[in-house]
Amino acid sequence: MEAMIKGKNITEITQFILLGFSDFPQITALLFVIFLTLYITALTWNLSLIVLIRMDSYLHTPMYFFLSNLAFIDLCYITSTVPKMLSNFFQEKQTISFVDCIVQYFILSTMGLTESCLMTVMAYDRYAAICNPLLYSSIMSPSLCARMLLGSYAAGLVGSVSQVCALLQLHFCGSNVIRHFFCDMPQLLNLSCIDTLFAQILLAVLTTLFGFSNALAIMISYGHIILSIMKITSVKGRSKSFNTCASHVTAVSLFYTSSVFVYLSSSSGGSSSFDRFASVFYNVMIPMLNPLVYSLRNKEIRDAVKRLKKKLGCC
């Protein structure tokens, strides 16, 4: 596609080459099996969690309402990158069109930003449950939960659309090789043949708004939660309160530590083998681990599984 940039005729790129893990040809089959297993496991666990929460009336509470949506977001997130990565393992030309690349990043960005907001919403839910237990039902009303969830999706959508609009203003006329297994903004900015200052500023602003602001809100919520727990006199009461928050704290820690590390390491467009394997943890492992984290130490989930087994046994 011909385009004019600064008075010169250039050929604009319409597709990219995703190198993925092609620099490890000796273990291609092994990597395919590993990623396929992780993907199937993530699909199974997240779908099972959604179905379990939907079928068990005891889990129709704000906490599990948000958890089922977290599982849905993780499903969309991992599905936006892994199937394409798996199909590229045995293809001679590992290409992705410009449109598909933008769509992939749009889904990835929307789900990632929405999950960041949802983590904050879930922290507020835990704050209301522990700091205001008597008013919890009135505070976390169904209408408020729905508005908070819609707000999270809307914020993620707006942030993602703004990034896509910035990407659509760029021109790609040099190298079309992305040394990664998915389309990410830092790599795309590095391939642009025009100034990317606006897109870089936008990315920094969104990182601050969705990353640091949400992380700060979560820390403030848990600061109040810890103070409330310390006021509980009984050891059993303290233990129960801590267990209520343990799963969310673990999920938040995994999400933010991995995302901050990945995006700090890739802020310069880095695409080393280490960066790619680190992105695997963020893009594949986190969506797979979240349902496990929320289920292992959660008595209500285990009880719901037992009730479902009894129901299926009776049927």
At position 143, the amino acid (one-letter code) is: S
pLDDT digits (tens, 9 = 90+) for 105-145: 999 999 999 999 999 999 999 999 998 888 999 999 999 99
- CA distances to 128, 129, 132, 151, 161 from 224, in Å: 10, 12, 11, 23, 34
Helices 235-265/213-230 angle, 10° precision: 160
Q: Would you state the pLDDT for residue 110?
A: 95
pLDDT confidence bin for 146, thresholds 50/70/90: very high
User: What whole-number distance in Å separates Cα of residue 234 and Cα of residue 13?
Assistant: 66
Q: In the predicted model, what is the mean pLDDT of residues 81-92?
A: 86
Q: Would you state the pLDDT for residue 151?
A: 96
Q: Would you state the pLDDT for residue 303?
A: 83
Q: Would you state the pLDDT for residue 219?
A: 93
User: What whole-number distance in Å separates Cα of residue 173 and Cα of residue 176?
Assistant: 8
In the numeric block, the tokens 């998915």 are attached to 182
User: What whole-number distance in Å separates Cα of residue 205 and Cα of residue 8?
Assistant: 33
Q: Which of 182-196, 212-226, 227-241 has the highest mean pLDDT?
A: 212-226
pLDDT digits (tens, 9 = 90+) for 3-15: 444 444 455 677 8
Q: What percent of the chain has pLDDT over 90?
A: 38
pLDDT digits (tens, 9 = 90+) for 237-285: 777 778 778 888 888 888 888 777 776 666 555 556 667 777 888 888 8
Return mean pLDDT, the chain: 85
Q: Would you state the pLDDT for residue 279?
A: 80
Q: In the predicted model, what is the mean pLDDT of residues 44-56?
A: 92
User: What whole-number distance in Å separates Cα of residue 11 and Cα of residue 76?
Assistant: 34
| Structural domain containing residue 249 | 2-314
Which DSSP category does 232 fall into? -
Of 216, 294, 288, the C-alpha closest to 256 is: 216
In the numeric block, the tokens 């620099």 are attached to 23
Please give the tally of structural domains in the chain: 1
Of 71, 154, 160, 158, the C-alpha closest to 112 is: 160
Q: Would you state the pLDDT for residue 109?
A: 93
Instruction: Report DSSP letters for 208-228, one per residue.
Output: IIIIIHHHHHHHHHHHHHHHH
Q: In the predicted model, what is the mean pLDDT of residues 148-159?
A: 96
Task: Point out the least confidently predicted range of 69-73, 90-94, 262-266.
Answer: 262-266
Q: What is the CATH number of the domain that holds 64?
A: 1.20.1070.10
Sheet holding 15-18, edge to edge: 95-97, 15-18, 177-178
